[in-house]
Amino acid sequence: MTETGRAAPTLASVGGRIRRRLIRNRGALVGLCFLTLMILMALLASQLTPYEPQAQDLLNRLDPPCAQHWMGTDELGRDVFTRVAYGGRVSLLIGLLGSTGGLVLGVTIGLLSGYLGGWFDNLVSRVVDIMMAFPGVLLAILIVSVLGPGTSNLIVALTIWLTPAFSRLVRAAVLSLREKEFVEAARSLGAPAWRIMVRHLLMNSLSPIIVFQTLSVATSILVAAGLGFLGLGVQPPTPEWGAMVSTARHYLREAPHLILFPGLSIFVTVLSINFVGDALRDALDPRLHT
C-alpha cells in the first residue's frame, strides 16, 4: 500500500500512464521515431545492404556517396553505410548493457543501503562518494586502461561507472519512504525485508529510476563513442561509431563523409534518447499532473 492507502503502482499501470502521456508529447514522438529508425537500421543491417562490413575494395577507396554506396566508401573501400548500420548494433548494445548493468547493481546496493542503514550504509556511502569524486569519463578511462580495450571490458567499465549514480538515486528515494506509514504497516504485519524493499520501496521509486535509466543509455553511448575515439573501446576492424569517427579524422579534408555519417548517427541517437528521457521525466512527475 502507498501512504495514501492505495496499492503500490504495478509495472503495467506505470507503463500505461507513460504511454498515454508520451503520445501527447511531440518531442517524445519525434525522438521515438528517429530512435526506432536507428534500431531498425542496426537490426536489419544484413537485409538493407549487400556488402559485408569488413569487405574491402581498394580500387574504390574514399568514394563520395553515390548510387552504389549511399554513404560512400572509407580508406579501405568498405561501404560506409554498411559499417554505420553494423556499428549501430555494437554501439546500441554497449549503451544498453552498460546502463542495465549499472541499473541492476546500483538499485540493489541502493535498496540495501537505504533500508538497512547502519554501518553498511556508511560503508556504501563512503565508497560511492569516492567513486563519484572522479570525473565520469576519467573513471571509465581508468577502468578500461586497467582491464584493457574491448567490447566486454567497455561494458564492465560503464557498469562500474554508472553503479554509484544509480545507488545514490535509489538510496535517497528509499530513505524518504522507509519511515512512511505503509512501510511501517508492512513491517507490523510481518512482511519479510525483501518484500518490503521490492514491493513497497522499489515500486514506489520507479519514476526516477526509469527516467535515469533512459538517460544513462544515451550517456553510455556517448562515453563508449568517446573511448572508441581514443582507441580504448571497440577495436578495429569491428565497426563502431566512435572508432569510425576516430579513423575518419585523418581524412577530414579529402573525404568528409567518413566523419559525417557515424557522427550524425551518434548525434541523432543520443538526441532522440534525450527527447524520450525528458518526456518520461515530465510524464512521471506528479507535480505536473495534479
Distance (Å, rounded) from C-alpha 84 to C-alpha 173?
40
Place of cell 508492512: 186
Question: Which cell numbers in the block locate residue 274?
Answer: 534525450
Does a structural domain hold residue 32? yes
The boundaries of the domain holding residue 247 are: 21-288
Q: How many structural domains are present in the chain?
A: 1
Q: Mean pLDDT check: name the lowest of 21-30, 89-98, 153-162, 221-230.
A: 21-30
Does a structural domain hold residue 12? no
For residue 111, the domain's CATH number is 1.10.3720.10
Q: Mean pLDDT check: name the lowest of 6-10, 73-77, 189-193, 208-212.
A: 6-10
Question: Which cell numbers in the block locate residue 133?
Answer: 569524486
pTM across the whole model: 0.84
Q: Where are the beta strands (DSSP E) in the chain?
A: none
The band of 14, judged by pLDDT with boundaries at 50, 70 and 90, is low
Does a structural domain hold residue 15? no
Does a structural domain hold residue 14? no
Q: For the chain, percent helix, then strand, then coil, each to nearest 5?
A: 75, 0, 25
Does a structural domain hold residue 139? yes
CB 265 within 8 Å of CB 84: yes
Preceding omega of 256 cis (within 30 degrees of 0) = no
